[in-house]
A and B are shown apart, each in its own frame.
Chain A
Amino acid sequence: MNMMAETTLEPKQAQAMNEPVYKMIGNKVSVFYGTKQALFEVSLPVREKTVTALIGPSGCGKSTFLRSLNRMNDTIDNCRVTGQITLDGQDIYDPSIDVVELRARVGMVFQKPNPFPKSIYENVAYGPKIHGLARNKADLDQIVETSLIKAGLWNEVKDRLHEAGTGLSGGQQQRLCIARAVAVSPEVILMDEPCSALDPIATAKVEELIHELRSNFTIVIVTHSMQQAARVSQRTAMFHLGNLVEENDTDKIFTNPDESRTQDYIMGRFG
């Protein structure tokens, strides 16, 4: 399967550094909730096999942008998206696109760990079963195991795969959710403040995990923590009041941003 194939490849970092490959490109994306506009013509490219952090004060539209990348905004009544978002050059809001298939390619991890009230095994097997990724039980077992290994959870749960996923600790639950997302072999993983409900130790584990996942997946992460953005991401985009303020290499944003608003936010003067 292609997921397995990818794990064996060397990360093409050198190539990404020189001439960036864009996995997803947002072009003048505006989002409306009813009559209220939450996002104003945001144009943001997302590089392949890179962690892109979206930062900014609460209500700045970073989660809204993230959710429009896999059309999760469609599930909200009255929500309307204009502009263009492409995945590998294909418009994801095009009527010919199957939203279900899109979400299988662009997975999502949510703010609060939300394991299903099923066993650990069933939680991870959920996506592969729906999409028919496993031909038989052995296949499925294999997918579950590799996903849990990738999420760094295998050693902790291998003896109790059939216990309830809701019985795990908060940090373990969040890593289970990441394993669940990884199991459908997405190309992009969106993370909406994945550590905001976790304690520092669990946060450190998830951050380490994000670091490892970068070699196989394109990751977009929304975070409230400047330190986290600095630690896990290579590119950072700063949002304010529904606008994209600037987007650049993380090192540059945190040491020498072009915009004074970015500087102020990072220094903690507002937000």
Chain B
Amino acid sequence: MKTPLILLILALMAIGAYVAGRARSHALSRTSKVKTHSRPAYHSAYVALAGLLPAVLVLIVWSIASPIYIDRTVRATLPSDLRIDQASEALNYGTVSIVARGVEQLTEAEIAAAQAGTVKWPELLVSKAVPVAADVRPEIIQAALKRTAMDAASHKAMAAVCIVVAALGAFLGYRRLAPSFRARNHIEKLMLVTLALCSTIAILTTVGIVVSMLSEATRFFAMVPMHEFFFGTVWDPRFAAAGAGGEGGQFGLIPLLAGTLYIAFFAMLCAVPVGLLSAIYMAEYASPRVRNLAKPALELLAGIPTIVYGFFALVTVGPFLRDISAELNGLVTGNYTNFIQAQSVLTAGIVMGIMLIPFVSSLSDDIITQVPRALRDGSLGLGATRSETIKRVILPAALPGIVSALLLTASRAVGETMIVVLAAGVAARLSPNPFEPMTTVTVKIVNQLTGDLEFTSPQTLVAFALGITLFAITLALNIYALYIVRKYREQYE
């Protein structure tokens, strides 16, 4: 019996239990003198879940445990010359698995014939489109047969146990139904457990990501000393050619970090004034009609994939800046060479800034509209104009929220990749000139991990060190943002 079928049966049983529980609950509320504690819906849900949950739990545990047990048992039956070392054992057990999959497709008559020797095993299997060598060892065939048999038995047993558990659980749950039974509280507790479980999964995933990055980064730092990574000013990792060994590159973080912060700085320089001022317009001046039209239009910007912004930078903004710089240079000095390159920090900064405008404006807009109306009225009632009110009362009151919104936006700017690849290039240079190409941490991570790689050389492992560094930066920004919000939260109460 296959797992989906078992699940279907369990679901049907749960529905049956639900209906039975409902009937019993209605009967109870009719006959009982005292008021029933929980409504029929809770009683019936309790009965259904009392059957379903333990059975599903058994199903999950069994599905995980039984393959492990079967694997071990079958491996033990292989003769010792088929498992000289780990590699040969894995290889031969792989053949067993393939044969076992073929055996599952055979009828009993075919198996019997093959066992009796009237048909050759390999021919039979090849006819079922299972790739098996003609000289396959009989021990392997026997192991495969044993595995198939054990699998089938395990599935049958699992089905039986699940159904018995479901029936028993539902029966016990049904027995507990009484007017005073607090089914409602039990369901509430179950909801709590479910919700807690989901958030635990989210948290554990984060922890898992960090741990895996950390462990890879540790391997990198075993090969390259930490100070060379964190304080090195040259990024030249060489190629991670297989077998090249010994040709270590230079892994200086500084040029990448400088590029990241430089580009993020220009992006914020573009995004903050435009975003903040448009947020003020939306929140304070715009009539409802304009607001309803303009706000979604602005937020549409946030929906554009960053690679599209990259095109925009590559095809439009970059060449435009280059040409206009040539014109300017010509007008001033008579020498028509461009001083802004098509791929430059400035290009990436401007385009990334455009991408960030909706984040700044949308977050700030929410924060500004949250400032209590009473403060606005108080200021207007004293004869302040709108802009005086905004400047002197609303912005100071909203400042902590706005600052934390800006920090969140900054951590986005630091993590952005696609725009930089297309707009600022991939050259890791350390230069104070914003008109020349530079690159960022994320771009180099992509660079180091593209292509056919072995994950043992510092050339690839450096990506994890870069990743964990970037993570530390954005985490610090986010924590600082949270801290600011907490500190000033009770400002207007």
A103 within 8 A of B: yes
Q: Which chain A residues lie closer than 8 Å to B374 at the CB level? A: 110, 112, 114
Are A184 and B375 closer than 8 Å at their CB atoms? no
Let me know if B388 and A110 touch, CB within 8 A.
no
Complex CA gap A70/B381 in Å reads 8
| Known contacts A72-B377, A108-B382, A110-B381, then 16 further A-B pairs from the complex at CB < 8 Å, ordered by chain A residue | A100-B383, A104-B382, A105-B383, A107-B382, A108-B377, A110-B377, A114-B375, A116-B378, A116-B392, A118-B396, A126-B379, A126-B382, A127-B384, A130-B384, A180-B378, A184-B383
CB distance from A76 to the nearest CB of B (A): 10
Known: A110-B377, A114-B374. A166 touches B383 (CB 8 A): no
Contacting residues, chain A, for B393 (C-beta < 8 A): 116, 126
- What's the nearest-Cβ distance from chain A to residue B257, in Å? 37
Whether the Cβ atoms of A75 and B378 lie closer than 8 Å is: no
Interface centre among B377, B379, B381 (most CB of A within 10 A): B381
* Interface mask (B269-302 → A, CB under 8 Å = 1, otherwise 0): 0000000000000000001100000000000000
State whether B491 touches A103 (Cβ < 8 A). Answer: no
Among A75, A115, A126, A177, point to the contact of B376 (Cβ < 8 A): A75
A-B complex: 6 closest residue pairs judged by Cβ atoms: A104-B383, A108-B381, A114-B374, A103-B383, A127-B382, A114-B378
CB distance from B309 to the nearest CB of A (A): 36
Contact with B along A238-260 (1 / 0, CB 8 A): 00000000000000000000000
By beta carbon, the residue of chain A nearest B288 is: A77
Question: Can you sample 25 A-B contacts with CB below 8 Å?
Answer: A75-B376, A77-B287, A77-B288, A100-B385, A101-B383, A102-B383, A103-B381, A103-B382, A104-B382, A108-B382, A110-B378, A114-B375, A114-B377, A114-B378, A115-B378, A116-B392, A117-B396, A117-B397, A126-B379, A126-B393, A127-B383, A130-B388, A130-B392, A166-B492, A180-B378
In the complex, residue of chain B having the shortest beta-carbon distance to the beta carbon of A103: B383
Which of A102, A107, A116, A126 has the most chain B CB atoms inside 10 A of its CB?
A116
Chain B residues within an 8 Å CB radius of A127: 382-384
In the complex, A12 has a CB within 8 A of chain B: no
* Beta-carbon contact of A166 and B493 below 8 Å: yes
Q: State which residues 170-219 of A face B: CB under 8 Å.
A: 177, 180-181, 184
- What residues of A have a CB within 8 angstroms of the CB of B378 in the complex? 110, 114-116, 177, 180
- Of listed B374, B396, B397, B493, residue having the most chain A CB within 10 A: B374
Which residues of chain A are near B372, meaning CB under 8 Å?
114
Could you mark each residue 65-95 of chain A with 1 if its beta carbon is under 8 Å from any beta carbon of chain B, else 0?
Answer: 0000010100101000000000000000000
Question: Which residues of B are at the interface with A, using a C-beta cutoff of 8 A?
Answer: 287-288, 372, 374-385, 388, 392-393, 396-397, 491-493
In the bound complex, what is the Cα–Cα distance between A127 and B380 (angstroms)? 10
| Closest B residue, CB atoms, query A130 | B384
List the A side residues contacting B288 at CB < 8 Å: 77
Q: How far is the CB of A212 from chain B (nearest CB, A)?
A: 21
Complex CA–CA separation, A114 to B378 (angstroms):
7
Q: Which residues of A contact B396 (CB under 8 A)?
A: 116-118
> Chain A residues near B381 (CB, 8 Å)?
70, 72, 103, 107-108, 110, 181
CA distance A72 to B287 in the complex (A): 17
Q: Is A131 an interface residue (CB 8 A)?
A: yes
Could you tell me the distance between the alpha carbons of A116 and B374 in the complex, rounded to whole angstroms?
Answer: 9
Residue of B nearest to A129 (CB): B392
Contacts of A103 in B (CB 8 A): 380-383
Q: Residue of B at shortest CB range from A101?
A: B383
B480 → chain A closest CB, angstroms: 21
* Contact residues in A for B493 (Cβ distance below 8 Å): 166
Tell me, in angstroms, the Cα distance from A181 to B385 when the chains sit together. 15
CB distance from A66 to the nearest CB of B (A): 11
Q: Are A116 and B385 in contact (CB under 8 A)?
A: no
Q: Smallest CB–CB gap between B13 and chain A, Å?
A: 57
Nearest-neighbour CB distance to chain B for A33, whole angstroms, equals 14
Tell me which residues across on chain B come within 8 A of A116, comparing CB atoms.
375, 378-379, 392-393, 396-397
Considering the complex, give the chain B residue whose CB is closest to the CB of A115. B378
Give which listed residue, A75, A115, A180, contacts B380 with CB less than 8 A.
A75
Docked complex Cα distance between A184 and B378 (Å): 13
Q: Which chain A residues lie closer than 8 Å to B382 at the CB level? A: 103-104, 107-108, 126-127, 130, 180-181, 184
Assembled-state Cα–Cα distance A105/B492 (Å): 27
A1 CA / B302 CA spacing, docked (Å) = 55
A72 CA / B389 CA spacing, docked (Å): 14
CA distance A105 to B383 in the complex (A): 8
B370 → A minimal CB distance (Å): 13
Q: Nearest A residue to B493 by beta-carbon distance?
A: A166
Smallest beta-carbon distance A64→chain B, Å: 14
B384 to chain A, nearest CB (A): 5
A77-B288, A116-B375, A130-B388 known; A72+B380 contact, CB < 8 A: yes
Measured CA separation A29–B393 after assembly (Å): 32
Closest to B491 in A: A117
Across-interface contacts of A131 in B (CB, < 8 A): 383
Give every chain A residue within 8 A of B397 (Cβ-Cβ).
116-117
**How distant is B296 from chain A, measured CB to nearest CB, in Å?**
19
Q: Which of B377, B388, B392, B491 has the most CB of A within 10 A?
A: B377
From A108, which residue of chain B is reached at the shortest CB distance? B381
By a CB distance below 8 angstroms, the chain B residues around A184 are 382-383
Measured in the bound complex, the distance between the Cα atoms of B492 and A117 in whole Å is 6
Minimum CB–CB distance for B441 against chain A, Å:
39
| Distance between Cα atoms of A107 and B383 in the complex (Å) | 8
CB distance from B373 to the nearest CB of A (A): 9
Nearest CB to that of B378 among chain A residues? A114
Looking across the interface, which residue of chain B has its beta carbon closest to that of A122? Answer: B392
A59 to B287, CA, bound (A): 26
Complexed CA–CA distance, A181 and B379 (Å) = 10
Docked complex Cα distance between A77 and B492 (Å) = 24
Q: Which residues of B contact A107 (CB under 8 A)?
A: 381-383
Minimum distance in angstroms from A233 CB to a CB of chain B: 21
CB contact under 8 A between A126 and B491, given known A72-B381, A104-B383 = no
**Given the complex of chains A and B, what is the CA–CA distance between A180 and B378 in angstroms?**
9
Cβ–Cβ < 8 Å partners of B375 in chain A: 114, 116-117
**Max chain A C-beta neighbours (<10 A), residue from B377, B378, B383, B388:** B383
Closest residue of chain B to A164 (Cβ to Cβ) is B491
Complex Cα gap A184–B381 (Å): 11
Give the shortest distance, in Å, between B486 (CB) and chain A (any CB): 16
Minimum distance in angstroms from B372 CB to a CB of chain A: 7
Q: How many whole Å from A108's CB to the nearest CB in chain B?
A: 4
Those of A40-54 within 8 Å (CB) of chain B: none
Compute how far the CA of A115 lies from the CA of B382 in the bound complex, rounded to whole angstroms.
Answer: 12
C-alpha gap A77/B289 in the complex (Å): 11
- Which residues of the other chain, A, contact B379 by a CB distance below 8 angstroms? 116, 126
A77 to B285, CA, bound (A): 11
| Nearest chain A residue, comparing its CB with the CB of B398 | A117
